[in-house]
Protein backbone atom coordinates (compact mmCIF):
# COMPACT_ATOMS: atom_id res chain seq x y z
CA UNK A 1 0.00 0.00 0.00
CA UNK A 2 1.05 3.61 -0.52
CA UNK A 3 0.81 6.47 1.93
CA UNK A 4 -1.01 9.58 0.74
CA UNK A 5 0.64 12.98 0.47
CA UNK A 6 -0.20 15.65 3.01
CA UNK A 7 -1.50 18.86 1.41
CA UNK A 8 0.27 22.20 1.61
CA UNK A 9 -1.29 25.63 1.91
CA UNK A 10 -3.95 26.45 -0.68
CA UNK A 11 -2.62 28.25 -3.74
CA UNK A 12 0.87 26.79 -3.58
CA UNK A 13 0.10 23.48 -5.25
CA UNK A 14 0.59 23.31 -9.01
CA UNK A 15 -2.14 20.83 -9.86
CA UNK A 16 -0.73 18.80 -12.72
CA UNK A 17 -3.61 16.36 -12.55
CA UNK A 18 -6.20 19.07 -13.22
CA UNK A 19 -4.10 20.71 -15.94
CA UNK A 20 -3.55 17.35 -17.62
CA UNK A 21 -7.30 16.63 -17.55
CA UNK A 22 -7.97 19.93 -19.32
CA UNK A 23 -5.29 19.19 -21.91
CA UNK A 24 -6.65 15.73 -22.56
CA UNK A 25 -10.16 17.16 -23.00
CA UNK A 26 -8.81 19.64 -25.53
CA UNK A 27 -6.99 16.83 -27.36
CA UNK A 28 -10.25 14.88 -27.46
CA UNK A 29 -12.14 17.76 -29.06
CA UNK A 30 -9.44 18.31 -31.67
CA UNK A 31 -9.14 14.56 -32.31
CA UNK A 32 -12.83 14.50 -33.20
CA UNK A 33 -12.30 17.41 -35.59
CA UNK A 34 -9.35 15.59 -37.12
CA UNK A 35 -11.41 12.46 -37.66
CA UNK A 36 -14.13 14.45 -39.38
CA UNK A 37 -11.61 16.09 -41.72
CA UNK A 38 -9.26 13.18 -42.38
CA UNK A 39 -11.95 10.47 -42.32
CA UNK A 40 -9.80 8.39 -39.99
CA UNK A 41 -8.67 8.51 -36.39
CA UNK A 42 -5.30 9.82 -35.31
CA UNK A 43 -3.23 6.75 -34.43
CA UNK A 44 -0.57 5.97 -31.83
CA UNK A 45 1.47 2.77 -32.01
CA UNK A 46 3.17 1.55 -28.82
CA UNK A 47 5.78 -1.21 -28.91
CA UNK A 48 6.56 -3.17 -25.75
CA UNK A 49 9.39 -5.70 -25.68
CA UNK A 50 9.47 -8.07 -22.73
CA UNK A 51 7.45 -8.21 -19.55
CA UNK A 52 8.86 -5.46 -17.34
CA UNK A 53 6.02 -4.84 -14.83
CA UNK A 54 6.37 -1.06 -14.76
CA UNK A 55 6.50 -0.88 -18.56
CA UNK A 56 3.37 -3.01 -18.82
CA UNK A 57 1.53 -0.59 -16.52
CA UNK A 58 2.68 2.40 -18.57
CA UNK A 59 1.67 0.79 -21.86
CA UNK A 60 -1.79 -0.08 -20.56
CA UNK A 61 -2.25 3.47 -19.30
CA UNK A 62 -1.14 4.95 -22.62
CA UNK A 63 -3.45 2.67 -24.60
CA UNK A 64 -6.42 3.46 -22.37
CA UNK A 65 -5.76 7.21 -22.56
CA UNK A 66 -5.37 7.09 -26.34
CA UNK A 67 -8.76 5.43 -26.77
CA UNK A 68 -10.39 7.83 -24.30
CA UNK A 69 -9.11 10.73 -26.41
CA UNK A 70 -10.88 9.33 -29.47
CA UNK A 71 -7.70 8.14 -31.18
CA UNK A 72 -6.69 4.70 -32.45
CA UNK A 73 -4.31 2.66 -30.31
CA UNK A 74 -2.04 0.02 -31.87
CA UNK A 75 -0.20 -2.13 -29.34
CA UNK A 76 2.62 -4.44 -30.35
CA UNK A 77 3.83 -6.73 -27.57
CA UNK A 78 6.98 -8.70 -28.34
CA UNK A 79 8.78 -11.35 -26.29
CA UNK A 80 11.88 -10.37 -24.33
CA UNK A 81 14.13 -12.41 -26.63
CA UNK A 82 12.99 -10.61 -29.78
CA UNK A 83 15.78 -10.24 -32.31
CA UNK A 84 16.92 -6.68 -32.95
CA UNK A 85 16.40 -7.04 -36.69
CA UNK A 86 12.78 -8.05 -36.11
CA UNK A 87 12.18 -5.06 -33.85
CA UNK A 88 13.72 -2.67 -36.37
CA UNK A 89 11.61 -4.21 -39.13
CA UNK A 90 8.47 -3.57 -37.08
CA UNK A 91 9.44 0.05 -36.54
CA UNK A 92 10.13 0.47 -40.26
CA UNK A 93 6.70 -0.95 -41.05
CA UNK A 94 5.06 1.48 -38.63
CA UNK A 95 6.96 4.35 -40.23
CA UNK A 96 5.16 3.76 -43.52
CA UNK A 97 1.77 2.77 -42.09
CA UNK A 98 -0.66 5.62 -42.96
CA UNK A 99 -2.88 4.77 -39.99
CA UNK A 100 -0.03 5.39 -37.55
CA UNK A 101 0.84 9.00 -36.73
CA UNK A 102 2.97 8.45 -33.65
CA UNK A 103 5.36 5.67 -32.66
CA UNK A 104 6.51 5.00 -29.12
CA UNK A 105 8.91 2.20 -28.22
CA UNK A 106 8.61 1.68 -24.47
CA UNK A 107 11.92 1.97 -22.64
CA UNK A 108 13.91 0.36 -21.18
CA UNK A 109 14.52 -2.37 -23.72
CA UNK A 110 16.10 -5.74 -22.93
CA UNK A 111 19.87 -5.48 -22.73
CA UNK A 112 20.59 -7.23 -26.03
CA UNK A 113 18.76 -4.46 -27.93
CA UNK A 114 20.43 -1.17 -28.84
CA UNK A 115 18.04 1.56 -27.63
CA UNK A 116 19.75 4.29 -29.63
CA UNK A 117 19.57 2.29 -32.85
CA UNK A 118 15.88 1.58 -32.27
CA UNK A 119 15.10 5.24 -31.55
CA UNK A 120 17.09 6.31 -34.61
CA UNK A 121 14.95 4.02 -36.78
CA UNK A 122 11.72 5.79 -35.82
CA UNK A 123 10.73 8.45 -38.35
CA UNK A 124 11.39 11.88 -36.76
CA UNK A 125 7.93 12.94 -37.93
CA UNK A 126 6.33 10.09 -35.94
CA UNK A 127 8.70 10.35 -32.97
CA UNK A 128 6.10 11.59 -30.49
CA UNK A 129 8.42 10.80 -27.58
CA UNK A 130 10.84 13.41 -28.95
CA UNK A 131 13.89 11.19 -28.43
CA UNK A 132 15.20 11.05 -32.02
CA UNK A 133 18.45 12.95 -32.56
CA UNK A 134 16.79 14.94 -35.34
CA UNK A 135 14.14 16.24 -32.94
CA UNK A 136 16.81 16.94 -30.32
CA UNK A 137 18.65 18.99 -32.94
CA UNK A 138 15.49 20.82 -33.98
CA UNK A 139 14.91 21.79 -30.35
CA UNK A 140 18.50 22.96 -29.94
CA UNK A 141 18.34 25.31 -32.92
CA UNK A 142 14.77 26.46 -32.36
CA UNK A 143 13.08 24.64 -35.23
CA UNK A 144 9.67 22.95 -34.93
CA UNK A 145 9.82 19.33 -33.83
CA UNK A 146 8.70 16.95 -31.14
CA UNK A 147 9.86 17.62 -27.61
CA UNK A 148 10.06 14.92 -24.92
CA UNK A 149 6.74 14.79 -23.11
CA UNK A 150 7.84 15.32 -19.52
CA UNK A 151 9.83 18.55 -20.02
CA UNK A 152 7.17 19.98 -22.32
CA UNK A 153 4.59 19.23 -19.64
CA UNK A 154 6.77 21.00 -17.07
CA UNK A 155 6.99 24.05 -19.30
CA UNK A 156 3.21 24.13 -19.72
CA UNK A 157 2.76 24.08 -15.93
CA UNK A 158 5.32 26.86 -15.47
CA UNK A 159 3.76 29.13 -18.08
CA UNK A 160 0.29 28.50 -16.70
CA UNK A 161 1.46 29.53 -13.23
CA UNK A 162 3.93 32.33 -14.06
CA UNK A 163 2.91 33.66 -17.46
CA UNK A 164 6.01 35.03 -19.16
CA UNK A 165 9.25 33.37 -18.06
CA UNK A 166 11.44 35.97 -19.77
CA UNK A 167 14.38 37.11 -17.67
CA UNK A 168 13.89 34.57 -14.89
CA UNK A 169 16.82 32.51 -13.64
CA UNK A 170 16.24 28.78 -13.89
CA UNK A 171 18.23 25.86 -12.55
CA UNK A 172 17.64 22.36 -13.91
CA UNK A 173 19.05 19.66 -11.67
CA UNK A 174 19.76 16.69 -13.92
CA UNK A 175 21.27 16.38 -17.38
CA UNK A 176 19.49 13.42 -18.97
CA UNK A 177 18.56 13.45 -22.65
CA UNK A 178 14.96 12.71 -21.69
CA UNK A 179 14.35 15.52 -19.17
CA UNK A 180 17.29 17.66 -18.12
CA UNK A 181 18.76 18.74 -21.43
CA UNK A 182 15.47 19.35 -23.29
CA UNK A 183 14.08 21.16 -20.23
CA UNK A 184 17.02 23.54 -20.32
CA UNK A 185 16.53 24.13 -24.05
CA UNK A 186 12.84 24.90 -23.55
CA UNK A 187 13.57 27.37 -20.76
CA UNK A 188 16.29 29.01 -22.83
CA UNK A 189 13.78 29.44 -25.67
CA UNK A 190 11.54 31.27 -23.19
CA UNK A 191 14.40 33.71 -22.53
CA UNK A 192 15.33 32.35 -19.12
CA UNK A 193 18.89 32.37 -17.88
CA UNK A 194 19.51 28.65 -17.51
CA UNK A 195 21.97 26.57 -15.50
CA UNK A 196 22.13 22.79 -15.80
CA UNK A 197 23.34 21.35 -12.49
CA UNK A 198 24.21 17.73 -11.75
CA UNK A 199 25.98 15.40 -9.35
CA UNK A 200 29.38 17.00 -9.97
CA UNK A 201 28.24 20.59 -9.63
CA UNK A 202 30.27 22.34 -6.97
CA UNK A 203 28.29 23.98 -4.16
CA UNK A 204 25.03 22.64 -5.60
CA UNK A 205 22.82 24.17 -2.87
CA UNK A 206 24.27 27.63 -3.60
CA UNK A 207 23.65 27.19 -7.33
CA UNK A 208 20.03 26.16 -6.76
CA UNK A 209 19.45 28.93 -4.24
CA UNK A 210 19.79 31.69 -6.84
CA UNK A 211 17.03 30.30 -9.07
CA UNK A 212 13.56 31.73 -9.63
CA UNK A 213 12.62 28.37 -11.19
CA UNK A 214 13.93 25.02 -9.95
CA UNK A 215 13.33 21.85 -11.96
CA UNK A 216 14.52 18.75 -10.09
CA UNK A 217 15.06 15.64 -12.21
CA UNK A 218 17.81 13.58 -10.62
CA UNK A 219 16.10 10.49 -9.21
CA UNK A 220 17.28 11.00 -5.63
CA UNK A 221 14.53 10.98 -3.01
CA UNK A 222 13.96 14.36 -1.35
CA UNK A 223 17.43 15.61 -2.22
CA UNK A 224 16.46 19.28 -2.61
CA UNK A 225 16.05 20.78 0.85
CA UNK A 226 14.30 23.95 1.98
CA UNK A 227 17.55 25.85 2.51
CA UNK A 228 18.47 25.18 -1.12
CA UNK A 229 15.48 27.16 -2.38
CA UNK A 230 15.15 30.93 -2.65
CA UNK A 231 12.00 32.22 -0.95
CA UNK A 232 9.32 32.72 -3.59
CA UNK A 233 10.84 30.36 -6.16
CA UNK A 234 8.69 28.04 -8.26
CA UNK A 235 9.65 24.38 -7.91
CA UNK A 236 8.89 21.63 -10.43
CA UNK A 237 9.59 18.16 -9.08
CA UNK A 238 10.03 15.54 -11.81
CA UNK A 239 11.23 12.77 -9.49
CA UNK A 240 9.17 9.69 -8.68
CA UNK A 241 10.82 7.57 -5.99
CA UNK A 242 9.27 4.78 -3.94
CA UNK A 243 10.51 4.76 -0.34
CA UNK A 244 9.45 2.98 2.88
CA UNK A 245 6.21 4.32 4.32
CA UNK A 246 5.55 5.66 7.78
CA UNK A 247 3.83 2.42 8.76
CA UNK A 248 5.23 -1.11 8.49
CA UNK A 249 4.53 -2.75 5.16
CA UNK A 250 3.63 0.50 3.41
CA UNK A 251 5.51 2.49 0.83
CA UNK A 252 5.11 6.04 -0.32
CA UNK A 253 6.00 8.02 -3.40
CA UNK A 254 8.25 11.02 -3.00
CA UNK A 255 9.91 13.34 -5.45
CA UNK A 256 13.43 14.69 -5.68
CA UNK A 257 12.34 17.61 -3.48
CA UNK A 258 11.65 17.59 0.26
CA UNK A 259 8.06 18.58 -0.38
CA UNK A 260 6.90 19.31 3.16
CA UNK A 261 9.82 21.60 3.91
CA UNK A 262 10.28 23.24 0.50
CA UNK A 263 6.57 24.02 0.23
CA UNK A 264 7.00 26.42 3.15
CA UNK A 265 9.59 28.40 1.16
CA UNK A 266 8.49 28.17 -2.47
CA UNK A 267 5.71 30.28 -3.93
CA UNK A 268 4.49 27.26 -5.92
CA UNK A 269 5.40 23.58 -6.09
CA UNK A 270 4.31 20.41 -7.86
CA UNK A 271 3.34 17.51 -5.59
CA UNK A 272 4.37 13.90 -6.04
CA UNK A 273 2.16 12.22 -7.06
CA UNK A 274 -0.25 14.49 -8.90
CA UNK A 275 2.16 17.04 -10.32
CA UNK A 276 4.34 16.36 -13.34
CA UNK A 277 3.37 12.68 -13.72
CA UNK A 278 -0.12 13.17 -15.19
CA UNK A 279 1.29 15.64 -17.72
CA UNK A 280 3.50 13.09 -19.45
CA UNK A 281 0.70 11.01 -20.99
CA UNK A 282 -1.38 14.13 -21.70
CA UNK A 283 1.51 15.64 -23.68
CA UNK A 284 2.06 12.32 -25.48
CA UNK A 285 -1.54 12.52 -26.70
CA UNK A 286 -0.98 16.13 -27.67
CA UNK A 287 2.14 15.25 -29.66
CA UNK A 288 0.30 12.42 -31.42
CA UNK A 289 -2.47 14.76 -32.47
CA UNK A 290 0.04 17.32 -33.78
CA UNK A 291 1.71 14.53 -35.76
CA UNK A 292 -1.63 13.43 -37.17
CA UNK A 293 -2.49 16.87 -38.46
CA UNK A 294 0.96 17.20 -40.04
CA UNK A 295 0.89 13.72 -41.58
CA UNK A 296 -2.54 14.42 -43.07
CA UNK A 297 -1.42 17.86 -44.32
CA UNK A 298 -4.17 19.54 -42.31
CA UNK A 299 -3.79 22.87 -40.57
CA UNK A 300 -3.68 23.01 -36.79
CA UNK A 301 -3.53 26.49 -35.31
CA UNK A 302 -0.25 27.04 -33.48
CA UNK A 303 -2.08 28.08 -30.33
CA UNK A 304 -4.77 25.39 -30.53
CA UNK A 305 -3.07 23.03 -28.14
Share of the chain above pLDDT 90, in %: 88
In a domain, 75, yes or no: yes
Q: Is 193 helix (H, G, I), strand (E, B) or coil?
A: strand
Give me the domain span that covers residue 162: 148-277
Q: How many domains does the chain have?
A: 2
Cα dihedral 56/120/101/80 (nearest 10): -30
Question: Does residue 183 register a pLDDT over 50?
Answer: yes
Q: Residue 3 has what pLDDT?
A: 46
- Catalytic residue set: 62, 106, 129
**Residue 215 confidence (pLDDT) above 70:** yes
Name the band, by pLDDT with cuts 50, 70 and 90, for residue 23.
very high
Domain stop point among 88, 123, 158: 123
**pLDDT of 9:** 45
Between the alpha carbon of residue 158 and those of residues 7, 10, 152, 235, the distances in Å are 20, 17, 10, 9
Residue 289 has a pLDDT of: 98
- Per mean pLDDT, which range of 5-9, 111-115, 118-122, 250-254 is the poorest? 5-9
pTM value?
0.93
Q: What are phi and psi of 166, to 5 degrees?
A: -60, 130
Q: What is the mean pLDDT of the chain?
A: 94
- Confidence at 5, pLDDT banded by 50, 70, 90: very low
For range 203-211, the mean pLDDT: 97
Smallest CA-to-CA distance from 152 within 185, 191, 125 is with 185
Let me know whether 153 and 273 are in one domain: yes
Residue 58, domain CATH: 3.40.50.10860
Do 180 and 264 fall within a single domain?
yes
Query: 154 and 91, same structural domain?
Result: no
CATH number of 207's domain = 3.40.50.720
C-alpha torsion angle, residues 170, 187, 224, 106 (rounded to 10): -170
Per-residue pLDDT of 109-163, as tens digits, reads 999 999 999 999 999 999 999 999 999 999 999 999 999 999 999 999 999 999 9
Does pLDDT of 47 surpass 50?
yes
User: Do both 166 and 251 map to the same domain?
Assistant: yes
The pLDDT score that the predictor gives to residue 280 is 95
1 pLDDT higher than 60: no
For residue 69, count other CB atoms closer than 10 A to its CB. Answer: 26
Residues 83 and 165 in one domain: no
Does 10 sit behind a cis peptide bond, omega within 30 degrees of 0 on the bond before it? no
Q: Is residue 295, in this structure, part of any structural domain at all?
A: no
What are the distances in angstroms from CA 292 to CA 131, 149, 153, 193?
18, 16, 19, 34
pLDDT band at 10 (very low <50, low <70, confident <90, very high): low
Q: What percent of the chain lies above the pLDDT cut of 70?
A: 96
Range with the lowest mean pLDDT among 12-21, 111-120, 204-213, 242-251? 242-251
The answer on 258 and 190 residing in a single domain is yes
Rounded average pLDDT over 175-203? 96
- Answer whether residue 253 is part of any domain: yes
Residues 154 and 273 in one domain: yes
Amino acid sequence: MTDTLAPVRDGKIIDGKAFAADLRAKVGRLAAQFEAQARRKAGLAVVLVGEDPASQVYVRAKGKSTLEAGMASFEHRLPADTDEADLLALVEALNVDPAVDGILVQLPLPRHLDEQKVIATISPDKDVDGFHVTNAGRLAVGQPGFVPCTPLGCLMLLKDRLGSLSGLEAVVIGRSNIVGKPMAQLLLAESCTVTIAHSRTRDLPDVVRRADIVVAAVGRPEMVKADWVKPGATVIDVGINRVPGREPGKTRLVGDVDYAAVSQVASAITPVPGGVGPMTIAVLLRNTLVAAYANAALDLASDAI
